[in-house]
Amino acid sequence: EAGVTQFPSHSVIEKGQTVTLRCDPISGHDNLYWYRRVMGKEIKFLLHFVKESKQDESGMPNNRFLAERTGGTYSTLKVQPAELEDSGVYFCASSLDSNYGYTFGSGTRLTVV
């Protein structure tokens, strides 16, 4: 079984540019999450999809961040325009059930310069 896959693994962009991160969850996992870890800090919740619907987007920092999950399969997280403080590692995770934790992807390291 393939794990959670994230693209790209690294991205370096200039302030003001747009970046789109992609996550392919484990096949059959309806629950998909985006988390972010800023250097040395905790991993913070961004949002949660159940299939194609946003179950909870309370962690999204501001309206420069847009997440989509068309068709309930893969998800994208777009940052437009990127700011310096958006740098960090963006993790995607998926799960079947609420009580067994997540399977994380290996993350996308975003650096905004």
Interaction site with other proteins (CB under 8 A): 4, 6, 9, 31, 35, 40-45, 48, 55-56, 91, 93, 95, 98-107
Q: How far is the CB of 15 from other proteins (least distance, A)?
A: 25
DSSP E strand boundaries for the chain: 5-7, 10-13, 19-24, 31-37, 43-50, 53-56, 65-68, 75-79, 88-95, 103-104, 108-112
- Output 55 or 73, the one with its CB closest to other proteins: 55
How far, in Å, CA of 26 to CA of 93, rounded? Answer: 9
Q: How far is the CB of 2 from other proteins (least distance, A)?
A: 14
Q: How far is the CB of 9 from other proteins (least distance, A)?
A: 8
